Amino acid sequence: MKKLFALFLLTAAGLFAQAEKIELGSHGKLTIYHDDTWKFDVADFGDRKLVTIGPKGESVNAAASMTITFPDVDRFDTKKRLSLRVEVNGEQIAPQSIEGKARAKEFSLQTGFGFYCSFTDPELVGKPPQKGNYKTISAGMIHLAPDVLIEVSISADGFNSEPYNQLLGMIEGMEFVPAKGT
């Protein structure tokens, strides 16, 4: 009976899920699954795509952005190279954070590999949320394919908050389908 109830809940949740499909031209397609409380904006700049994710309502203080690029040369072809780059990039933020150091954590992805560093703003800890001013940020990179690289940032009022975890889940649950012939 418990298995049947769990299956029902998963099916019901699936009915309310939406998919944002992002065409990457000759590089393939990216699909991001979300519920109807989030809005997406996709801007195409030719050599890159910028995806911004924000709440539909005013009650949630969280956002994410993804810059998708298509490098000619795969400079981050190993996990080690990518994690080092993410930590080097994070060292710009680290001195002003509670963490004080950039430590790469691995994304749990279906395709490719990626890492992110998380930081907390000491000036905002213990204060009420301020719309558009986030207590925490996670910044990183995802290597989906030799010719598809994504820079990611997730901002929210806490790493354990529901909005942060929803955004992280969207990114970790995204599906990448390379173009045929690549």
Distances in whole angstroms, Cα of residue 89 to Cα of each of 8, 47, 129, 138, 140:
44, 21, 27, 12, 8
| Contact status, residue 32 vs residue 170, Cβ threshold 8 Å | yes
Q: CATH number of the domain at 17-178, please?
A: 3.40.1000.10
Give residue 55's identity as a one-letter amino acid code.
Answer: P
pTM, 2 dp = 0.88
Please state the domain extents for the chain.
Answer: 17-178
* pLDDT tens over the chain, length 182 residues: 444 433 343 344 444 579 999 999 999 999 999 999 999 999 999 899 999 999 998 889 999 999 999 999 999 999 999 999 999 999 999 999 999 999 999 999 999 999 999 999 999 999 998 998 999 999 999 999 999 999 999 999 999 999 999 999 999 999 999 988 65
